[in-house]
Amino acid sequence: MEITATGIANKSSSGEILDIFFPCIESIDKKVVNEIFDKQDNSKELIKIDWNKEDLDRPIENIKDAYLKLHLLSYRFVLPNSINLDGLFSSLPNVVWTNFGPVSINEINEKLNNSKHGRNDIFIRSIDKFPCLTDYIIPKKVRIADASRVRLGAYLSEGTTIMHEGFVNFNAGTLGKAMIEGRISAGVVVGNNTDIGGGASTMGTLSGGNSAVISIGENCLLGANSGIGISLGNNCIVEAGLYVTSGTKVSKQIASKNEIIKASELSGVSNMLFYRDSTNGKVIATNNKKIQDLNKELHLND
């Protein structure tokens, strides 16, 4: 894949690059082209990058690599987990994100003090390595109720609806229309026609020693306040309030057979229903006979 990109970097007074916006990216089969205005002062820098497939596969070496790869994900040039993001965290500076754009940690106190003595118009939204997706890219046919809960680097397909408590991390997202009322952690992808219920959680790869990449298939439902540490195939349901980790002991009840196994043995299996027996507390896994279907009008998002 040949990629050419042009971006505008914001810099601190000391010359540190704080962030980069890439309004123009072109590959062989896709392009995003927006007007680039002439930089007006030394706080801006024009960035030009020419990449090939090897650049996508190598670790990130600097902030320019980091922001281009995050843009490629959110512009939908590449799928989550398809490019090398090693070195991402060490390449991104911690930045104060304000209503006037990014500010260096070393300069925010002066700007905040000046604001308090003046119009008091500076507002700090967060202090983080990652900015909000919508400060850079507005994905087509997607609804996001609270933009602060979706990071740059999220991959959102058309028809996705993210409600107020929904969260989508970088290198994660949806591969079709989906209802997101819970958390999609880093590395997790969600299939078409799937509903992540309110307060539901997916185990990512950034913490907790979990190295497995979790995916959720099509036509699935994670009930409210449920969670998974295993992958789900297509047409799966996890009961509200039930968290299924890879080590969860599950009573597999299919046909006339009943055996106790670890949930990891069912990772990625389709047509499964996970629920807890309210009389004895056992986690049951059995065939799912219900087909999940989203409200079509809700996910047109035109």
299: pLDDT strictly greater than 80: no
Q: Looking at residue 105, what is its pLDDT?
A: 97
Region 267-292: mean pLDDT is 92
Q: Looking at residue 290, what is its pLDDT?
A: 76
Which segment of 1-10, 80-89, 206-215 scores lowest on mean pLDDT? 206-215
**Please, are residues 105 and 13 in contact by the beta-carbon 8 Å criterion?**
no
Q: Of these residues, 181, 218, 259, 297, which one is catalytic?
A: 181
Each residue of 179-211: b (16+ CB within 10 Å) or e?
bbbbbbbbbbbbbbbbbbbbbbbbbbbeeeebe
Each residue of 218-257: b (16+ CB within 10 Å) or e?
bbbbbbeebbbbbbbbbbbbbbbebbbebebebebeeeee
Tokens representing residue 300 in the block:
């047109």
Residues 6+ apart with CB under 8 A from 117: none
Q: What is the layout of strands, in order, in the sheet containing 172-174? A: 154-155, 172-174, 189-190, 215-216
210: pLDDT strictly greater than 70: no
Interatomic CA distance for residues 226 and 209, integer angstroms: 20
Confidence of residue 254 (pLDDT cuts 50, 70, 90): confident
**Please, are residues 22 and 71 in contact by the beta-carbon 8 Å criterion?**
yes
How many other C-beta atoms can be found within 10 angstroms of the C-beta atom of residue 112?
16
Each residue of 141-150: b (16+ CB within 10 Å) or e?
ebbbeeeebb
230: pLDDT strictly greater than 80: yes
Region 251-258: mean pLDDT is 86
Region 220-248: mean pLDDT is 96
Interatomic CA distance for residues 16 and 9, integer angstroms: 10
**Please, are residues 155 and 139 in contact by the beta-carbon 8 Å criterion?**
no
Percent of all residues in the chain with a pLDDT value above 70, rounded to a whole number: 94
181 is catalytic: yes
Q: Looking at residue 38, what is its pLDDT?
A: 73
Looking up tokens 């505008």 gives 8
Region 284-299: mean pLDDT is 76
Which segment of 182-186, 269-273, 298-302 scores lowest on mean pLDDT? 298-302
Tokens representing residue 196 in the block:
């992540």
Residue type, 62: N
Average pLDDT, the chain: 92
Region 48-63: mean pLDDT is 97
